[in-house]
Structure 1
Amino acid sequence: MHMERVEMALEAALSEAGGAKCPPLLASALRYAVFPGGHRIRPQIVLAVATACGDPNPHHTDAAAVAIELMHCASLVHDDLPAFDDAPIRRGKPTIHVEYNEPLAILTGDALIVLAYEALGRAFSDDPRQLARMISIVSRSVGAPGGIIAGQAWESESTISLVDYQRAKTGALFAGATLAGAAAAGRDPEAWRALGDYIGEAYQVADDLRDLLCDAEELGKPAHQDERRARPNAAAQLGIGGAKARLTELADAAAASIPDCPGAEQLRVVIRAQTRQLFPSQLEQYAA
């Protein structure tokens, strides 16, 4: 149900941006970058948190989910550029700069960022205070000092802290998703930060494991990138068994961190199911 709702909201946003007045190649690249998507974990978290809190304004919730996912898609477009990962495939198909060209890929990422804010502006125009709060949540999740842009920037430093790097590169947008879902439902967003932090770290540990254990065909993107680019990797530092144990701890901590709300128990079921899906199938042979 949440997945269908996410796709419909994204479709509405992209239809508006890629209309008749948009340069055709840019319109095509925007759609290519967003559809088909991955698991849409981040926007589904926005919806799940808002639903657990009663979801009094679905229009606000949908816009928050769209903004979070568009920021994520923009980060993937930019991450794949030759200046960064120089990745030829993403989600099992050629990356934007390969399918189109590098200048258009840069513009596509930029346009997705702007579109994220435009979606918020349209949805929250009747509530300036809520709009300001939502813009702050999304901006802190994306920019400096601790958002996903800062996470990418850590790769240009001579030394990288695994904790700081992964908290910014991956965790920040997950925290943004839980905060945005709570805020859209009129709840105190800070109470939901821990849930986002735990899910974000779990996702990163799982991604590090997949980078070590899976091939490019399974991943839908180049494998062994962390080793190739000398980037921190939790599975390499903890060992596969240690990373598996950490993943289990994080899944339990995420479920336990959910604040009191009408749908807390149902949300715990959802969070446990989603975090369990992160476990690569290859982990079964490794002891925790």
Structure 2
Amino acid sequence: MSLMARTEHALARHFEAACGSGAPPRLVEAMRHAVFSGGARIRPQLCMAVAVACGDTQPELTDAAAVALELMHCASLVHDDLPAFDDADIRRGQPTVHKAFSEPLALLAGDALIVMAYRVMLQAAGGHHQRLALLMDNLTRGVGLPAGIVAGQAWECESAADLSQYQRAKTGALFVSATCAGAISSGSDPAPWSLLGESLGEAYQVADDIRDVMVDADSLGKPAGQDVLHARPSAARALGLEGAIAHFQRLIANAAASIPACACRDMVRQWGQREAERLVPPALCEQARRKQAAGARTAPQLRLVLP
């Protein structure tokens, strides 16, 4: 079974089990819309890939940890799309939750998905109480303060933000949680896997910045040009397109080099390379070079602190 197929199967199974019976039907449908309207499932696949590299000694716990990560990610997207933030009409090519179900139900759906993430892990823990405690702590670090995804979104509300700090929080933190969760669920030390998550997480945000400038809304599955519209920190704005692409490629190289020695090192590296090419295809890089050569200008507005 591929990592994607394993992810989708685990999501469907754990979502239905955690919903139970008797919940408000429209709330459940809003939650289902947020989770099952598509998505690359990068974070749960990354968790599973690391677990496999570490022996995957408790696959049920691995699946639950991976599902919890995706539920938390989906919750953040529901909230990010609300009028108070991006006021987005589409996500993954579908109407956003607040457009399809109303703002009150979108707020409640996001909140319910956060709670569901922890419930899924609790239901799958079995007798592995120590691993569960570590997984719970790991997820809270990726989501909360001082440097989780909530902090990342809050940096958008500040008058100034350090670009690298912003990217590590908004996107990188949950990637670190994903690599660490894969190790923890298999009873391995998560520390050696942290750098892989950091590098991939920052690379993913840089790729998102590039695509926000280069790709149209239909291809993105969400509104384009949002970084400029909302004056958000952006690698493409700070470094220019060519500079952002070069930074992205350095981060991918750093990620590959950071993978600890293990029997499945090549599998993890190849998975990361495929994701890199999906996010920023060579054709997009060439298009950026042509655009830069044609005289497109970007105005650096933020200081980038390279790791």
| TM tier, smaller | over 0.9
User: Which residue number corresponds to residue 32 of structure 1?
Assistant: 33
In structure 1, the residue corresponding to 2:32 is in which secondary structure? Answer: helix
Offset from partner CA, 1:147-194 (integer Å, 9 cap, x none): 000101111111111111111001101111001011111111111110
Aligned to 1:46: 47
Aligned equivalent of 2:223: 222
* Per-residue CA distance 1:98-123 (angstroms, 9 max, x = gap): 10110100000011001100011111
Deviation per residue, 1:17-71 (Å, 9 max, x gap): 3443111101111111100321101100001111111111100110110010000
1:90 corresponding residue in structure 2: 91
1:269 Cα deviation (Å)? Answer: 1.7
Percent identity over the alignment?
55
Q: What's 1:59 paired with?
A: 60
- Residue 266 of structure 1: how far off its partner (Å): 2.0
- Do the aligned residues in 1 keep the contact of 2:122 with 2:132 (CA within 8 Å)? yes
CA distance in 1, matches of 2:272, 2:19: 34
Do the aligned partners of 1:18 and 1:28 also contact (CA within 8 Å) in 2? no
Indicate if the aligned counterparts of 2:37 and 2:94 stay in contact, CA closer than 8 A.
no
Confirm whether residue 70 of structure 1 aligns to residue 38 of structure 2. no
SS at match of 1:36: coil
Distance 1:20 1:183 in 2: 31
Among 283, 286, 290, which residue is 1:284 paired with?
Answer: 286
Task: Give the Cα–Cα distance (whole angstroms) in 1 for the partners of residues 270 and 42 of structure 2.
Answer: 15
Q: Which amino acid in the other structure matches residue 15 of structure 1? A: E
Matched position secondary structure for 1:156: coil
* Structure 1 residue 154 corresponds to structure 2 residue 137: no
Answer yes or no: is the 8 Å Cα contact 1:14–1:30 preserved in 2: no
- 1:10 aligns with 11
CA distance in 1 between counterparts of 2:173 and 2:276 reads: 17
Aligned length: 288
CA distance in 1, matches of 2:187, 2:9: 23
Q: Distance in 2 between matches of 1:38 and 1:176?
A: 19
Alpha-carbon distance, 1:262 to partner: 1.9
Point out the more displaced range, 118-127 or 17-26: 17-26
Distance 1:272 1:214 in 2: 21
Structure 2 residue aligned with 1:212: 213
* Aligned equivalent of 2:296: none
Deviation of the 1:16 alpha carbon: 2.0
RMSD: 1.3
State whether residues 251 and 276 of structure 1, in contact with CA within 8 Å, keep that contact through their aligned partners in structure 2.
Answer: no
Unaligned runs of 5+ in 2: 293-307
Gaps of 5+ in 1: none
SS at match of 2:156: helix
Cα pair distance change 1:56/1:17, threshold 3 Å: closer
Partner of 2:166: 165
CA apart distance, 1:203: 0.5
The letter for the 2-side match of 1:233 is S
Q: Check whether the contact 1:92–1:220 (CA below 8 A) recurs between aligned residues.
A: yes
SS of 1:188 mapped into structure 2: coil
Answer whether contact 2:91 2:221 (CA < 8 A) is retained: yes
The letter for the 1-side match of 2:285 is L
AA of the residue aligned to 1:145: P
Preserved contact between residue 75 and residue 109 of structure 2 (Cα < 8 Å):
yes
Instruction: Output the TM-score relative to the length of structure 2.
Output: 0.91
In the alignment, the residues of structure 2 paired with residue 239 and residue 227 of structure 1 have an alpha-carbon distance, to the nearest angstrom, of 13
**Aligned partners of 1:286, 1:222: CA distance in 2, in Å?**
19
Aligned runs of 1:105-184 on 2, under 5 Å? 105-184=106-185
SS at match of 1:139: helix
Whole-Å separation in 2 of the counterparts to 1:17 and 1:178: 24
* Alpha-carbon distance between aligned partners in 2 of 1:157 and 1:236, rounded to the nearest angstrom: 18
C-alpha displacement at 1:250, in angstroms?
A: 1.1
On the 8 A contact 1:211/1:224 being kept in 2, the answer is: yes
CA contact (8 A) 2:143 2:174 kept: yes
Q: C-alpha distance in 2, partners of 1:36/1:2?
A: 18
With the length of structure 1 as denominator, give the TM-score of the two structures. 0.97
Q: Which amino acid aligns with 1:250?
A: L
- Mapped to 2, the partners of 1:138 and 1:19 lie a distance apart of 23
After superposition, the C-alpha distances for 1:224-268 in whole angstroms (9 at most, x for unaligned) are: 000001111101111111111111111111011001222112221
